[in-house]
Amino acid sequence: MDFSTENMIQALEAALREAGSLVVSYSFSILGAVVLLVLGLIIARMMEKWSYRLLGEIRGFDETLRRFLSKGLRYVVLVLVLVTVLAQFGVQTASIIAALGAAGLAIGLALQGTLQNIAAGIMLLVLRPFRVGEFITAGSISGTVVEIGLFATEIKMLDGVYMFAPNSELWNTPVTNYSRNPQRRYDLTIGIGYSDDIDLAKKLLLDLAGGDNRVLSEPAPEAFVIELGDSAVNVTCRYWTMTSNWWQTRLDLTKAAKTAFDQNGISIPFPQRDIHYIANEPKAKKPARKAG
């Protein structure tokens, strides 16, 4: 056997030994990676179920937010498992984490408005300034809440028009919730003539409020003169009702007050204004010029 053939055989044997050692080494790495992946998938699934069940024990916790947070925890676990698996093969995980951070920052900047709506949606679902079925006003938005999502809220306006409002707009605007409190107050104010009987008007209003079973006895209704207007004495009847009866009670008592005032001779005057006419005085005659 010549020298060149012997060198080739030695090189081949060395390559086979190196390949064998690599196979053994990477076999353990691959086996470890498979085990980590399987365990990671199982743990991620268990964490999702555990967090979903735990959040479900919180009274009134929103179902949409419950699913979102539990799935988010699962994906976080899966990302950690993937980074750990790559580390098994000697991959520099620091660079991967940095790349993921840079990619997340780029995506965040590109989807800034969307992420803002998601953050606002989470805050709305957690703090619950309004719930489905409640009537709210927020800026120019006014209507009944149909559904609260992570990106936007569906609202049915008074005229039946459908509105899809971004959550960020609702979160950054003061919200007035007309349905949250169980009781509401209303001030029924009616102007009567200056020559009419104020005490009689107050009595009629109190009788109307006391005779309506939708008006609460506590706090008790009260009547008073709230203002001396330009054309009328404004008499107010203040009463409380349940929120569900507020609107219809207001309509019914307003109509009943007009009827009662008419039957008892109490006028509801139109706006009036007194005009004082001052006649112009006759102009003085200028003296005639003398002829030059």
**pLDDT tens for each residue of 25-80:** 566 566 667 777 788 888 888 888 888 788 777 776 667 667 777 877 887 888 78
Q: CA dist 85 to 31, 42, 48, 196, Å?
A: 10, 15, 21, 90
Residues 187 and 139 in one domain: no
Task: Please say whether the beta carbons of 235 and 221 come within 8 A.
Answer: no
Q: Which of 79, 85, 92, 81 shows the shortest CA–CA distance to 31?
A: 85
In a domain, 116, yes or no: no
Taking the CA atoms of 101, 102, 107 and 110 in sequence, report the sign of the dihedral they define.
positive
Whole-angstrom Cα distance, residue 196 to residue 138? 42
Q: Considering only CA atoms, which of 217, 185, 186, 207 is closest in space to residue 261?
A: 207
**Alpha-carbon distances, residue 220 vs 190, 204, 214, 246 (angstroms):** 19, 15, 12, 16
Q: How far apart are CA 33 and CA 13, in angstroms?
A: 30
Q: List pLDDT tens digits, range 127-147.
A: 889 988 999 999 888 999 998
What is the per-residue DSSP string for the chain? Answer: --HHHHHHHHHHHHHHHHHHHHHHHHHHHHHHHHHHHHHHHHHHHHHHHHHHHHHHTSTT--HHHHHHHHHHHHHHHHHHHHHHHHHHTT--HHHHHHHHHHHHHHHHHHTHHHHHHHHHHHHHHHH-SS-TT-EEEETTEEEEEEEE-SSEEEEEETTS-EEEEEHHHHHTS-EEESSSSSEEEEEEEEEE-TTS-HHHHHHHHHHHHHT-TTB-SSSPPEEEEEEE-SS-EEEEEEEEEEGGGHHHHHHHHHHHHHHHHHHTT---PPP-------PPPPPPPPPPPPP-
Question: What token pair was written down for 256?
Answer: 């009943």
pLDDT above 90 as % of the chain: 39
* Residue 190 vs residue 34, higher pLDDT: 190
* Predicted local confidence at residue 292, as pLDDT: 47
Regarding whether 101 and 11 lie in a shared domain, the answer is: yes
Does residue 239 form part of some domain? yes
Q: Is it the case that residue 19 has pLDDT exceeding 60? A: no
Residue 202 pLDDT more than 70? yes
Same domain, 11 and 89: yes
Could you tell me if 47 and 77 are in contact, meaning their C-beta atoms sit under 8 angstroms apart?
Answer: yes
CATH number of the domain bearing residue 33: 1.10.287.1260
∠ Cα 38 41 44 (to 5°): 145
CA 199 to chain CA centroid, Å, is: 46
The number of domains in the chain is 3
What CATH number does the domain containing 166 carry?
2.30.30.60
71 and 22 fall within a common domain = yes
pLDDT one-digit tens code per residue, 218-262: 999 999 999 998 889 999 999 999 999 999 999 999 999 999 999
Computed over every residue of the chain, the mean pLDDT equals 81
Residue 254 β-bridge partners: none
Let me know: does 210 contact 249? Beta carbons within 8 Å: no
Distance, CA of 156 to CA of 173 (rounded, Å): 18
User: For residue range 95-115, what is the model confidence (pLDDT) as tens digits?
Assistant: 666 666 766 666 665 555 677
Is the pLDDT at 290 greater than 60? The verdict is no
CATH of the domain at 212: 3.30.70.100
CA distance 131 to 62: 10
Mean pLDDT score, 171-197: 93
Alpha-carbon radius of gyration of the chain? 40
Confidence of residue 192 (pLDDT cuts 50, 70, 90): very high
Residues 158 and 231 occupy one common structural domain: no
Domain that holds residue 257: 183-263
